[in-house]
Homo-oligomer: A and B are copies of this chain.
């Protein structure tokens, strides 16, 4: 069995975006801050983390729909991190996915608060009583909240951003670059897969294998992102390319050379595929996702 990954991604993206779009529907918005939150949340994006979460749940025989609150929470957290990273005090970016960044549209104060709002709402929607039916074990959701908070927090994504800011203009070595990426993007991608497996009812060795898969493609994703920043077209990427070279930012192609960077990406993809063997046909979407991460460069 083989699936059409473009169609799979398209279908899942529609489902995720429909849910994201309705996530704040029945809630009060006493100050109008939801406008700014929605602006960045609905500004496009691959929805990679929610789709990984859903695909992992399905790989262990669980329901994609049942894990949707976690899938959406992951996208809210990803979006908040982009809004804060773009701020003048951080990367000071004017454009994101071809659109003006949050603070360019709403001002700096509102952008900070919109990011705060997205982060907080992630934990609100993951624990919403309407979604937690009697058939779901609340202890699994407690675990998922804990793991996601940990991956998004100072032990994960936030420290990655600190290290990224600290490393600007400095020469860093490969092990430091790898550590930075494992924290900044890897931790959230890994936890997306892991929580999908946990909430989907996976058994211990399935959860362990899928966490390893998540860690592996999280790194592959960054390696290919660095390659694309040099070789990709702006049109296809929806953002400026070549920016890493201009900023003299440490990247895999810069530290390893382009050929070795590509070899590293291929090795990681092969490892990810090997891990999925035990899931048979049910692992096909995750297999296709691993290939998709690599194929973006072609």
Contact = CB atoms under 8 A, between A and B. Distances in A.
Contacts of A31: 154, 158-160, 162-163, 166, 183
A141 B162 CA distance: 31
B116 A84 contact: yes
Interface string A118-149: 01110110111100100000110111011001
A136 to B, nearest CB: 10
Given A128-B146, A129-B146, A143-B127, A117 B84 contact: no
Q: Which of A108, A150, A153, A160 has the most CB of B within 10 A?
A: A153
A1 interface: no
Contact of A33 (B108, B117, B158): B158
Contacts of A154: 24, 27, 29, 31, 33-34, 37, 117, 120-121
A154 B115 CA distance: 10
A192 interface: no
Nearest to A183: B30
- Count copies of this chain in the complex: 2
Contacts of A28: 155
B149 A120 contact: yes
A161 B113 contact: yes
Given A120-B153, A153-B124, A145 B143 contact: no
Given A112-B112, A121-B153, A153-B120, A142 B127 contact: yes
Interface of A: 24, 27-34, 37, 80, 84, 87, 89-90, 107-110, 112-113, 115-117, 119-121, 123-124, 126-129, 132, 138-139, 141-143, 145-146, 149-150, 152-155, 158-163, 165-166, 179, 183
14 contacts: A29-B155, A31-B154, A31-B162, A31-B166, A32-B162, A84-B116, A113-B158, A115-B116, A117-B154, A121-B154, A127-B142, A127-B143, A127-B145, A141-B142
Given A31-B163, A84-B116, 9 more contacts: A29-B155, A33-B154, A113-B162, A116-B158, A117-B158, A120-B149, A124-B149, A138-B139, A138-B142
